[in-house]
A and B are shown apart, each in its own frame.
Chain A
Amino acid sequence: MPTLTVPLSRIEGHARTSIEFRGTQILAARFEATEKRGFELFCQGAPAEQMPVIVPRICGVCSTAHHIAAVKALEAAFGVEPPPKAITIRGLMMLGQLIQNQATSLFLFTMPDFPGREGLPSLFHFDMQDAGLAARALEIRRLGTDLITLAGGQFIHPVKAAVGGVTSGIGRQEADELRRRFQEHLPLAEELFSRYRELLMGLRERIGTLGDDTPTHYIGAVEPRHTYYGSTIRIMAPDGTEAEAFEPCDYARYLTEVPLESSYSNGTLYGEQILNCNSLARANMLSVMGTPRADAYLERFHREWGHPAHAILLFDLARGIELIYGIERAIEILEEDLDGSSGAEGDLRVGYTPRDGEGCGLVEAPRGPLIHHYNISDGVIRRAKFIIPTQHNILAIERALRVAAERYITEQGISLELERAMGRVVRAFDPCIACATH
């Protein structure tokens, strides 16, 4: 019984895939996360109010999502309602993270897979036809990191969300400057997305598939014109109807964590069903984004691929739509009054008294709905539980790996395409291993 193990690159963290097969029969397809640090354990005993400083370190790619989920969980536990302007500024941080993440996944992680027969090692290896691509892609990515810096203090492990609100606002001049840059760069983002789509369609032509397209359940916390701030979690059935809608603290009634024998990450089931989250889930769960350019792209997406659409390489296309949406939506919000100094008292934050209890904080991270669940007594975390979006996709990744293995392990032997396909499958889901194993 041979096992083919393929290490992975161009994803966040340490993971590998392995396929066990006999003849042309696929016995197992595994996605194995090979690192773990143990946050749920070592956060026990932490001062509750220090969690927004500790938990961003779960992941340097997703730190904004953890920072805000932690603050929201504490606010739920303490019974605090932050003022609207603080929520707007946190929303900008989430949009910044979305732009950063989707630009990273699109250009640094997946785009090198598409050209030619073999793909390229990295974004830095594109030829003259795409001269300047790397610099321009990083410029778009920088819009996201600069937005997080402006709204969150620093773009990795941001600091400005705090229980009750945010620690400082955004001055008019700085907001205007960044807004102008966003406006100037929107056409470039669209141009890069268009080139991306062209290369992805070239790949589809060459390999004749967009991967596993099994109709699947989708999970997300989205609504039109949202800022990925998260309110209600919904599960969509494969036919597009709503199967569930629930509040973050009720996750255990709907989602079952499944330990995996050869991975430090668990998987998630909804009843007996495999779930998908991340960009494709959101593209399926929304009928409009709420900004002009992104709406046009989403409309085309639904027209071309169906609504809901299921093929996994469509995750990549949906990410491009979200990149455009994030830029457009940030342009709108940066026009609002975000400066705390001119506002009324309690404009940016409200006072609170810490208390014992339980709270859940939800955000729609770029990779899907993220929940932090804390139990607090004497001001100290007694139990911390992190419900990580990448976990929800693990079983879907394994199913898609199996579909690829069945396609490329035939009577003729193992196709060289298999190894590339395994990389493409995993990257389509944009998993985050540091988060998944925490």
Chain B
Amino acid sequence: MATGDFAVLNLSGCSGCEVGLLNAEAWIDTHRLAYMPLVLSSEDLPQVRQLVVSGAVYTDEDLYRLRRAATRAEQVIAVGTCAISGGVANLGYRDEVRERFFQESDRRHLPRMLPRLLPVDAVVPVDLYLPGCPPMPWLFTAALFQPTEYQTAKTVCLDCGRVKTRQRPTRLSGFQPGDTDPQMCLINQGYLCIGSSTRGGCRAPCTRAGNPCVGCRGPSDGFIARSAEEWFEAMARVFARMTDIPGDEIDEVLRSPQLSLFVFQFADYGDRPDPVAPRDVKKVL
């Protein structure tokens, strides 16, 4: 029997998702928050209807807390890039980094790092995914309180409003924006923007301000069930169609570990030994 409406369990992450949830404050008068250590002191996590999990499973303590919490919830909602794919900490999955990390990270009486970081659904079944780094407040409202009615824009492009032109750049302008034309599509201006295959719903704050989309909302519906490879190829095709930038140049930056921190969302997490099954599109908001 649920004694609270929802609980928020924060594993290894930055608390940005929780901070975002605080801005979806309409729930204050309508829903009872039963557990959220960031803003609420409570002894333990009670039985709840919804368990919101943010952050990745990085330590033995994360693993224990997640397993334990999941038994007390009717529904598990994974929010944010870390919970869904490991997020920024996935940049650490290069051997030389991992080795040094473990040397430095073993300290007395403290939770120990797992041999590798896990997304939430590698540990417990997830009923709803809310990707984003972090998800926007209105997406929290939709995920927690009205999931079936809510439709997001299919891609960031549809949220963005910049206009595609016939201008074909011949070289990549990099990640960081220069003096961008405020109306024109960033790809036409040579920026590595992957909004065309990234899930919408964010209302495109980055691209509207002149910053290329880095894909924090993960793949759009059509790519969720496909491999990372297919997603990369699709992005490369967009650049081939709209620009004269050499394909190998695009390929190299698309696959750099720093960009992959986002584009690996929902894919097979690089070299994970036990790739999780593709998520059900209907479970992703």
Report the Cα distance A262→B40, complex, angstroms. 25
Contact between A44 and B97, CB atoms less than 8 A apart: yes
Interface assignment of B223: CB less than 8 Å from any CB of chain A: no
Contact between B28 and A42, CB atoms less than 8 A apart: no
Contact A60/B61 with A10-B38, A32-B110, A167-B210 known, Cβ cut-off 8 Å: no
Contact A160/B175 with A34-B111, A263-B110 known, Cβ cut-off 8 Å: no
B32 CB, min distance to chain A CBs, angstroms: 9
A50, A160, A341 interface centre (most CB from chain B within 10 Å): A50
Report the Cα distance A41→B101, complex, angstroms. 7
Interface assignment of B198: CB less than 8 Å from any CB of chain A: no
Name which residue of chain B comes closest to A108, CB basis: B39
Contact of B28 among A109, A124, A262 (CB under 8 A): A124
Segment among B17-25, B70-78, B229-237, B243-251 that sits at the interface with chain A: B17-25
Report the Cα distance A34→B60, complex, angstroms. 11
Contact between A42 and B92, CB atoms less than 8 A apart: yes
Interface assignment of A46: CB less than 8 Å from any CB of chain B: yes
Contact A167/B40 with A35-B59, A263-B107 known, Cβ cut-off 8 Å: no
* Chain A contacts for B108, CB-based, 8 A: 261-262
Contact between B105 and A36, CB atoms less than 8 A apart: yes
Contact between A159 and B205, CB atoms less than 8 A apart: yes
Report the Cα distance A134→B19, complex, angstroms. 15
Name which residue of chain B comes closest to A146, CB basis: B23
Interface assignment of A45: CB less than 8 Å from any CB of chain B: yes
Chain B, interface size category, equals 35 or more
Interface string of A120-157 (1 = CB under 8 A from B): 01111000000000110010011001000100011111
Contact of A159 among B23, B59, B209 (CB under 8 A): B209
Contact of A434 among B14, B33, B110, B214 (CB under 8 A): B14
B97 CB, min distance to chain A CBs, angstroms: 5
Interface residue total, chain A, C-beta cutoff 8 A:
67
Contact between A153 and B107, CB atoms less than 8 A apart: no
Contact between A262 and B110, CB atoms less than 8 A apart: yes
* Chain A contacts for B208, CB-based, 8 A: 153
Interface string of A8-29 (1 = CB under 8 A from B): 1111111000000000000000
Interface assignment of A400: CB less than 8 Å from any CB of chain B: no
* Chain A contacts for B88, CB-based, 8 A: 37, 39, 42, 54, 57
Contact A47/B20 with A32-B109, A37-B12, A153-B211 known, Cβ cut-off 8 Å: no
B219 CB, min distance to chain A CBs, angstroms: 19
Contact between B40 and A37, CB atoms less than 8 A apart: no
Within 8 A of A (CB), among B50-73: 58-59, 61
Contact between A38 and B92, CB atoms less than 8 A apart: yes
Report the Cα distance A177→B37, complex, angstroms. 35
Q: What are 13 pairs between A and B in contact, CB < 8 Å?
A: A32-B110, A36-B105, A37-B89, A38-B105, A41-B101, A42-B91, A43-B91, A49-B175, A57-B16, A109-B39, A121-B41, A153-B205, A156-B20
Spell out B's residues near A (CB within 8 Å): 10, 12-20, 22-23, 25, 28-29, 33, 37-42, 58-59, 61, 87-89, 91-92, 94, 97, 100-101, 105, 107-111, 113, 133-134, 136, 174-180, 182, 205-206, 208-211, 214, 256-259, 261
Spell out A's residues near B (CB within 8 Å): 8-14, 32, 34-39, 41-47, 49-50, 52-54, 57-61, 63, 104, 108-109, 112, 121-124, 134-135, 138, 141-142, 145, 149, 153-157, 159-160, 162-163, 167-168, 261-264, 341, 349, 351, 423, 434
Task: Known A-B contacts: A38-B97, A38-B105. Give 20 more (CB < 8 A).
Answer: A9-B38, A10-B37, A10-B41, A32-B109, A34-B59, A34-B111, A37-B92, A38-B92, A43-B91, A44-B97, A50-B175, A59-B15, A60-B18, A61-B16, A124-B33, A138-B28, A154-B136, A162-B176, A264-B107, A341-B182
